[in-house]
C-alpha cells in the first residue's frame, strides 16, 4: 500500500492526469464510469490510496472504500434507474483482475434488452 503510484492507471485517474467520467468523489475515494461499459452506468470505486488488491489493503482503507458503496449505488440508481445492481471485486489475474489498483465494480442490470443503447 502506498499513497500514489505514478505508473498506475487508476492513481492517474483519481489525480486527474487521465480523464474519466466522475460519478462521485470525496477525500478517500473516487468513483467513475468504467471505460468498457458492461451495462449502462457500469462504475468503479477506488480508494485514493494505492493498494494492488484486497490482500494489500489495511482495514481502515478497506472500510472507507466499502462504506462509500451505498452512496455511489444510490447515485447510479438515481441517474440510470436500473432494475438491479451487481457489486463485485476481482483479486488477482486468475479471478479476472486486469488493473492492479483495488476497485469495486458496480454493474447496473436492466430488465430490457437495450441497456447499452
Ligand atoms: P478488473 O478486470 O481489473 O476487475 O477491472 C478493471 C476495469 O478497468 C475494466 O473493466 C476496464 O474496462 C477498466 N479500465 C481499464 N482502463 C481504464 C481507463 O483508462 N479508464 C476507465 N474509465 N476504465 C478503465
Ligand atoms: Zn494506483
Structural domains in the chain, CATH included, are: 9-109 (3.30.428.10)
Residue bearing the CA closest to ligand 1, atom 17: 35
Among 14, 33, 36, residue to substitute to test ligand 1 (most atoms within 8 Å of Cβ): 36
pLDDT tens, residue by residue, 66-106: 999 999 999 999 999 999 999 999 999 999 999 999 999 99
ipTM for the whole complex: 0.99
**Phi and psi at residue 91, to the nearest 5°:** -125, 120
Q: Which stretches of the chain are DSSP H helices?
A: 9-14, 59-67, 69-80
pTM of the model: 0.95
Among 10, 30, 34, residue to substitute to test ligand 1 (most atoms within 8 Å of Cβ): 34
Q: Is 43 in the pocket of ligand 1 (CB under 6 A)?
A: no
Amino acid at each position: 500500500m502506498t499513497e500514489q503510484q505514478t505508473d498506475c492507471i487508476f492513481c492517474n485517474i483519481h489525480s486527474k492526469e487521465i480523464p474519466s467520467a466522475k460519478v462521485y468523489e470525496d477525500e478517500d475515494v473516487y468513483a467513475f464510469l468504467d471505460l468498457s461499459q458492461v451495462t449502462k452506468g457500469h462504475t468503479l470505486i477506488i480508494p485514493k490510496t494505492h493498494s494492488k488488491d484486497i490482500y494489500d489493503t489495511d482495514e481502515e482503507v478497506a472500510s472507507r472504500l466499502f462504506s462509500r458503496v451505498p452512496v455511489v449505488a444510490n447515485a447510479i440508481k438515481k441517474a440510470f434507474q436500473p432494475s438491479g445492481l451487481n457489486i463485485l471485486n476481482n483479486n488477482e489475474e486468475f479471478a479476472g483482475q486486469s488493473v492492479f489498483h483495488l476497485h469495486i465494480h458496480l454493474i447496473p442490470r436492466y430488465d430490457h434488452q437495450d441497456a447499452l443503447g
